Amino acid sequence: MSKQSDENLRGIPMKSYDLIREGLIVLGVIFVLVLVLAIAFGSPDYPTVKAQDVANLQPIAYLEASAEILGGSSSVESYGPPYTNDTENAQNLLGVAPSRLLGVTNPISASQDLIIAPLQKAAVIDPAISTALSTYQAASSGQQQTWVNNYLAGLSKASVNNGQVGLPVGDYGPVEAMMNGMLALGKAGLLEGALANSSQLPYNMDYTNALLFFQDDIDHSVAEKLDVLGSTWGISNETGPFPGAWWTYPYTFLYQIPPMNSSPNGDLEVVAIMTVLILILLFVPFIPIINRIPKWVGLYRIIWRDWYKHYEGKL
């Protein structure tokens, strides 16, 4: 302590306190408690939705997702910045759309990056995929779309037998062989690796493509069964009978009330409200009237009642 501190605290009763020791004790108790609870209950989190699980357990859903991406009907195509130039659905607040200002920083062509590129890697070891890719890419865009539409229509009548998807007879062109290649990649657990953008690095650090692949019906279906959709408080819920991220309640609560719960600009509106609230809390000491509320309420006198009882007016 400084001389000034010693002077200011002269005459005030004090006792020694080892903050480091107390901190280490608390840290040790928490570590043991977390370890015991983890051994007793395990992780309450739902395991990651992997392509291998979807391909093996729900092969038709897997193929539908793949074919929709190939045909350009997935939501990635109209996502807008930072992935595509489609800014029609960009959220805006008072006419200002931050995503438009930032632009496309991570350009993605869904059919090329999520379907063609993985198949090109698989084509190196599978001539059937190589032939199908060449035929597909040589065809006109209209012919490609016809094959994809026919394939999607066939999937609606498909059956699964011993893990194999059986399609009715139809004109699917090379799309059937391409989708079989995608299914094989998924079943082998290789799709995420084939989608990786940073495969030249020792470790993949970019999972954007893998996360976008199932973001529509499949991820939505899993989230709905777990009761963790945005309409059901999303991330503030935990899977199973466990408390969730309760500290996000002020944020997720805003998604449950009008107009945010139905607004196309809901995300931006929630962020703006939270930003204003945080700034108000940050600048409370400098905002007239508001900075006097703590003194008027007098809660501090209850918290420090022992000090006021013994020393108020004596120093």
The reported pLDDT for the residue numbered 45 is 75
42: left (phi over 0), alpha (psi -120 to 50) or beta: left
The reported pLDDT for the residue numbered 230 is 82
Residue 207, both tokens:
């999972």
Ranges of each domain in the chain: 3-41, 51-219, 226-301
The residue among 138, 218, 128 whose CA lies nearest residue 178 is: 128
Q: Which residues contact 301 (CB under 8 A, 6 or more apart)?
A: 308
Q: Is the pLDDT of residue 309 over 90?
A: no
The reported pLDDT for the residue numbered 202 is 67
Which residue matches tokens 């699980």? 53
Query: How high is the mean pLDDT of the chain?
Result: 89
Q: What is the pTM of this model?
A: 0.78
As a whole-number percent, the residues of the chain with pLDDT over 70 amount to 97
pLDDT confidence tier of residue 199, bands split at 50, 70 and 90: low
pLDDT tens digits for 241-298?
677 788 888 888 999 999 999 999 999 999 999 999 999 989 988 999 989 998 999 9
Q: What is the identity of the amino acid at 210?
A: A
pLDDT confidence tier of residue 77, bands split at 50, 70 and 90: confident
For residues 97 and 91, the answer to whether their CB atoms sit within 8 Å is: yes
pLDDT tens digits for 113-135?
999 999 999 999 999 999 999 99
Q: Is the pLDDT of residue 155 over 60?
A: yes
The reported pLDDT for the residue numbered 278 is 94
pLDDT tens digits for 14-56?
778 888 999 999 999 999 999 998 888 877 777 888 999 999 9
Residue 11, both tokens:
């005459």
